[in-house]
A and B are shown apart, each in its own frame.
Chain A
Amino acid sequence: MNAIVEIIGFAREPGWLPWAVQYFFLIGVSTAAFFLSLPGLVWRHPQWRGLSRRALLAALVCGLTAPVALLADLHQPGRFLNFYLYPNAGSWMAWGSFFIPVYLGGLSLFAWLCLRPQFAELGRTDRRLAALYRTLAYGGHDNRSAIMLAAIVAALGAFLVLLYTGMEVMAVRARSLWDSPLLPLVMAVSAFTGGIGMTAFFETLAGSRQAAATLKRWLARTQWASLLLLAAWLVSGLSGAADGAADALAAMRASSGWLLTAAWLLGSTLLTLWLARRPGDALLALALLALHGSWLIRWIVFIGGQSLPKIGATRASYALTLTPDSLLGIVGMIGLCLTLYIVLTSLIPWDEKAPAAGDAS
């Protein structure tokens, strides 16, 4: 048996930095939260009303923040124009640059249409910004047809965003951890974990527990789906049925870091599942665990996936630093989310009592 030691080799630094993790996390959370907003705001199910409003808030906060992380990863934000000047139809990333505005445009339109009655109500008060609310209300009609149309556009955009974010990564056959047909499903399911988590978090902040049972039920389903997908990936690798998974497992072999990561992922998923199945309406710990799980999957896929050697034996290690493309970027994204949350909740009441689309029904 040969024993090989790479004496001189080089491992490339990760090309996709924590900006990418943040983007894929936030846009995934946003799309999933948007889908959670549909039952209450489009189909007007009474038990979903409050939950869907918080889900819409989560979709807006994360959706408006996500592209900032994407632009930051381009080193010079103005370069995004080249995506539209020279699109390459063979690239999933190029398609993504068109799907993102479709989704965010649809989402913004959907949110505005849903909020118009509320803007009108606020415009009738003697608030300082009453004139602004009246302008935003634009008549204040609860136009169900328009809401439905905007929801269809946003839903199409959200579906395409979920599709491209999974396919874009899966298409990279050179990265063994990414080279799996299961990856888009893992990304989509974990996006829903995050979307439910963010909505539950906003429920907690709003002091509402009415939707706890619904959120926990759906969260438990995403955890089961995640466990099934992870098991399927593991089996495909161990059996040799999938080259990418097999190669990734071989590269991880004998790595205590990867063992710890796997244990952490499995443990936190099981803990989330256990909490989701427990009776009670406490949501905070569950919401934070769900957000953690969704983010962890992306960190493992992107940062971990790039650490595995494509060629040679040298792993590309990555450590968080206090630089804008690292820890400060992550903190900055959280800060931007917080800012948007404060602005949106300051301008618009999102509790059950606030009038909005769906009140008439």
Chain B
Amino acid sequence: MSAHPDLSRRAFLGALPAVTAGLAVPAQAAGDADPHWSMLVDTRRCIGCQACTMACAIENASPEGSFRTVVATYAVTAGGKTGLSLLPRLCNHCEEPPCVPVCPVGATFKRKDGVVLVDGDRCVGCAYCVQACPYDARFINHVTGKADKCTFCSHRVEAGLLPACVETCVGGARIFGDLNDAKSQISRRLKAAEGQVRVLKPEAGTVPRVFYIGLDEHLDGRVDGDSAADMMWRPRHAGA
């Protein structure tokens, strides 16, 4: 893959002064080093518009009712006040992905650039990886009958583009880039937010490569709360 996915339009945009908080800075790998792609989600900037959810679904042609990413939305009441907490969720592209060792045919693998992918030709659709993922990031695609998940839009990144969810994020809440490049926006933002950066389910030992700023500590795993799911739309059929 190209180590310099710095297309002219995006390079131009990246060079512009940041006029809006939501301006997407292109993903750039460090000079000679292999990139290690990662994502930082600044939940303070998320407005819960689900544009990322839709962009991902359209870009990756997700089947109806299945999402590679979604913005979980919570009403949190504390001290008599109720506020909204937002938590964009996706595959965490873990350093120690529990989905990889369980795969009976080695169809799930972690690439050198940090992206966890599924080899669709080899996948048997046994859903063992779906079970093993602590983040519920995987599902069986009913069209292909195989495991499906966020790929960090690797096809776009290889073409020098940003993942669809990052590109479309209205508030600039999703920052994608190369952890190996100290000058990348994600590295700078992570350094600047040192001490405030959290990951989901740190106790699982998976070493996620999706980081969060402003993540409510009550929401980083199984949430001890109620769900309005029964009032929501749900996919009607599992086997179509």
User: Chain A nearest CB: distance from B130 CB in Å?
Assistant: 4
Q: Mark B90-115, 1 if CB is under 8 A from A, else 0.
A: 00000000100111111100000000
A247 within 8 A of B: yes
User: Chain B nearest CB: distance from A233 CB in Å?
Assistant: 19
Contact A75 B125 (CB under 8 A): yes
Residue with the highest number of chain B CB atoms closer than 10 Å, among A7, A17, A97 = A7
User: Chain B nearest CB: distance from A258 CB in Å?
Assistant: 15
Set of chain B residues within 8 Å of A94, measured between Cβ atoms: 104-105
In the complex, which residue of chain B has the Cβ closest to the Cβ of A254? B226
Contact B136 A74 (CB under 8 A): no
User: Chain A nearest CB: distance from B204 CB in Å?
Assistant: 7
Contact A80 B124 (CB under 8 A): yes
Q: Mark B131-147, 1 if CB is under 8 A from A, else 0.
A: 11111101110000110
Set of chain A residues within 8 Å of B17, measured between Cβ atoms: none
Q: Mark A161-179, 1 if CB is under 8 A from B, else 0.
A: 0000000100111111010
Set of chain B residues within 8 Å of A96, measured between Cβ atoms: 104
CA distance A250 to B225 in the complex (A): 11
Chain B, interface size: which category? 35 or more
A4 within 8 A of B: yes
Chain A, interface size: which category? 35 or more
A residues 43-95 touching B (CB-CB < 8 Å): 73-76, 79-80, 82-83, 85-88, 90-94
CA distance A172 to B204 in the complex (A): 11
Set of chain A residues within 8 Å of B102, measured between Cβ atoms: 90-93, 171-172
User: Chain B nearest CB: distance from A12 CB in Å?
Assistant: 5
Count: A-B pairs, CB below 8 Å: 194
B223 within 8 A of A: yes
Contact A13 B98 (CB under 8 A): no
Set of chain A residues within 8 Å of B132, measured between Cβ atoms: 171-174
Contact B104 A173 (CB under 8 A): no
User: Chain A nearest CB: distance from B231 CB in Å?
Assistant: 9
B9 within 8 A of A: no
Contact A6 B228 (CB under 8 A): yes
B89 within 8 A of A: yes
Residue in B50, B98, B124, B239 whose CB lies within 8 Å of A79? B124
Contact A79 B125 (CB under 8 A): yes
B212 within 8 A of A: no
CA distance A43 to B135 in the complex (A): 51
User: Chain B nearest CB: distance from A252 CB in Å?
Assistant: 12
User: Chain B nearest CB: distance from A309 CB in Å?
Assistant: 5
User: Chain B nearest CB: distance from A99 CB in Å?
Assistant: 12
Contact A6 B227 (CB under 8 A): yes
Contact B232 A16 (CB under 8 A): no
Set of chain A residues within 8 Å of B235, measured between Cβ atoms: 13
B78 within 8 A of A: yes
CA distance A268 to B24 in the complex (A): 60
Set of chain B residues within 8 Å of A13, measured between Cβ atoms: 139-140, 235, 238
User: Chain B nearest CB: distance from A31 CB in Å?
Assistant: 20
B200 within 8 A of A: yes
A residues 268-311 touching B (CB-CB < 8 Å): 306, 308-311
Residue in B98, B130, B221, B227 whose CB lies within 8 Å of A311? B221
Set of chain A residues within 8 Å of B128, measured between Cβ atoms: 91, 93, 168, 172
Set of chain B residues within 8 Å of A1, measured between Cβ atoms: 78
User: Chain A nearest CB: distance from B74 CB in Å?
Assistant: 5
In the complex with contacts A3-B77, A91-B101, A311-B221, A174-B227 CB distance below 8 A = no
In the complex with contacts A4-B74, A15-B140, A82-B222 CB distance below 8 A = no
With A2-B218, A4-B76 known, 19 other A-B pairs at CB within 8 A are: A3-B78, A5-B227, A10-B70, A13-B235, A15-B140, A16-B131, A73-B127, A74-B125, A79-B124, A83-B104, A90-B102, A91-B101, A92-B102, A309-B136, A310-B135, A310-B136, A310-B222, A313-B222, A313-B224
Closest 9 CB pairs of A and B: A4-B225, A15-B127, A75-B145, A15-B130, A94-B104, A8-B73, A93-B104, A174-B134, A313-B223
Question: Which A positions have Cβ atoms within 8 angstroms of B?
Answer: 1-17, 73-76, 79-80, 82-83, 85-88, 90-94, 96-97, 168, 171-176, 178, 247, 250-251, 306, 308-315, 321, 323-326
A-B contact pairs, 22 of them (CB 8 A): A2-B76, A3-B225, A4-B77, A8-B50, A9-B70, A75-B146, A76-B125, A76-B145, A82-B122, A87-B106, A91-B101, A171-B102, A171-B132, A172-B102, A172-B132, A173-B204, A174-B131, A250-B222, A312-B219, A314-B229, A315-B229, A326-B239
